[in-house]
Structures are given as C-alpha cells and as structure tokens.
Amino acid sequence: MHKYRFPVNYFMTMSFPKRIFQNRKMFGWLKLTLLFIFINACLMVPVSLMLSSLKSFDIRNVAPELTSQIADRFAARLQNARLSGGNLKGADSFSFSSKGTLLAVDLENKWSAQGGSYHKQISGVDNALIMQRSQFIITDKSGYGFEIHYPVRQAEWQAGNAKQLKATLGQLWLRQYKPLLLAILSLMSFAALMISNLILLGIFSFVLWLTGRSGFSAIRSFKEAVSIVMLSAGAPSIIAMILGVAGMNIATALLFQSIGLILMISLVFFRTHFQESSMKKQSQIKAVSG
C-alpha cells in the first residue's frame, strides 16, 4: 500500500479487513482529521439534498406568538385578495388590534417597521401582521421580525381561513429567506453529525486502545486505534450516503452506518484477532496450501 498516496491509499484499504489492521500506522493526526471530515461530509450529502427540496415552512418557527393570534375572521377579509406583479390586489384596508397584537391590511403604508433585518418591530405593539401593497411585515414578541416582499412571479395565494393564510405566509417567507434558512440548517446538521460521529468513533477508538493497553491486541497507540476505526467507517459511510441519496430516511441511513462500522471492525478482528502473529500464520497457511 505504500505506493499509493493519500487519499488513494485510504480508499484502497477501507474495504479489506486485513489491510485495515495491517496499515493502521499509515495516517498521521492531520490526515485522520481530514478523514473524519470526509466521513461527516458523506453523511451531509443526503441531508443537504433533503434540505434543498424544502417546499414549505411553518411560520410559527419565527413568529409563534403572532401565529397563535391569527384567526379565521382576519383571514376571511383576505379571501378575495391576490398577488399580481409583486403587489397585493383585491383587498381593502382594515385593521384588528387586541392585547398588543395588530392584524391589518395597510395599502397606504401607514405603518412602518424599525430594527434590523431579522428583528423588525412596530412601535406600540408586541405582535403584528401588516399586509401592505408590495410587502408584508411580521413582528413577534419573541424578538423576530421581517419585511417580506411579494414575489413578482406568480405565487399561490390561499387565505380562506387561518390555516391557509399561515401556510401562505410561510411559503412567502421561505421564498425570500430560503438561502439563509438552508445555510443555518446545514451548519446545524453538520455540527450535529460531527458531534454524533465524534462520540461514536471516539468510543470505538477508546475500546480498541484499551485492548492494546491490556495486552489483548497489538494496537500500541490511540492513533492506531483511531486509524482502524476511520478505515472501518469509510465503506459504511459511503454506502449510507448512497442509500440516503436514493431516498432512504436519514435516520435509517445513519443507523446503517453505525451497524456497518460494527460489522467491519468485527471482520477486522475475525481476520486478524488484532495480532500481527495471526496475520503471519494465515499467510504461512496459504503458502503451504498453495
């Protein structure tokens, strides 16, 4: 295996249990770190595809207090409204105000929001939904607030009841903030995967290292143990990625990776017993039988 350079030597080793043990001293800590990132990246591929296919968004995630105040009687006033050329048409100006919540159609732009891009506020109220001619404003007691512009292209508009109106607001919010949402969810997912794999692979590495400390195996350092685990995780992670891309549930794909890692380490033990002498005996037996 010495004739192959990194990372080719990794791919040439990871599917062969005997080679995994034999080449456990092949990687330094920098390469092991890169391999750990690669394993996580494999699992992120189906997660990213799933996130990119997101078609709807629950507006309660950014405006929980406001959403609870949107009732059917407000939605009914918007039933005949429509979006055309980036403007709201077919609705008359009106407003409902109760207990710190303002619900309004404001075609004259009487109200204006202040604050940062994601923390808009309307003076004098905690929660607000204001449908203006070219945009709508949502502010919430939680501190989030947005100005969402209506799309110029045709957009579905349903507001016959509160449920339909909330779904419409969620879709319009997603059209404007989808890149930001995907970036946040991707970073959170990658961080969660890294923590999960760090714990999983760390436990396996620690157990293998203990076998060397106890004299049960020929694993002489923690780095060797980590190398065996990283090599053993390669094929299961790639297969889990393929299954995830093919449509398998992400949680099931992650479970498959964990089971595959256990099976691969078991195969390494079955073929080598974690001993150099065991591999030599097998080679001698093959030579005699040949």
Tell me the per-residue pLDDT of 77-98, one tens digit each, with 9 for 90 and over: 888 888 888 888 888 888 888 8
Q: Could you give the CA distance from residue 177 to residue 175 in angstroms, rounded to a whole number?
A: 6
Tens-digit pLDDT profile for residues 115-131: 998 999 998 899 999 99
- Residue pair 200/62 in contact by the 8 Å Cβ criterion: no
Tens-digit pLDDT profile for residues 8-61: 999 999 999 999 999 999 999 999 999 999 999 999 999 999 888 888 889 999
Tens-digit pLDDT profile for residues 134-168: 999 999 999 999 999 988 876 677 777 889 899 99
Distances (CA, A) of 249 to 43, 253, 260: 12, 6, 16
Residue 214's CB is within 10 A of a number of other CB atoms, namely 8
Helices 162-213 and 222-245: angle between axes, nearest 10 degrees? 150
- Residue pair 116/139 in contact by the 8 Å Cβ criterion: no
Residue 231 has pLDDT above 50, yes or no: yes
Q: What is the separation of C-alpha 155 from the centre of its chain, rounded to a whole number of angstroms?
A: 27
Whether this prediction's pTM lies above 0.85 is answered by no
- With a pLDDT cut of 70, the percent of the chain lying above it is 94
Closest of 206, 86, 229, 102 to residue 151, by C-alpha: 86
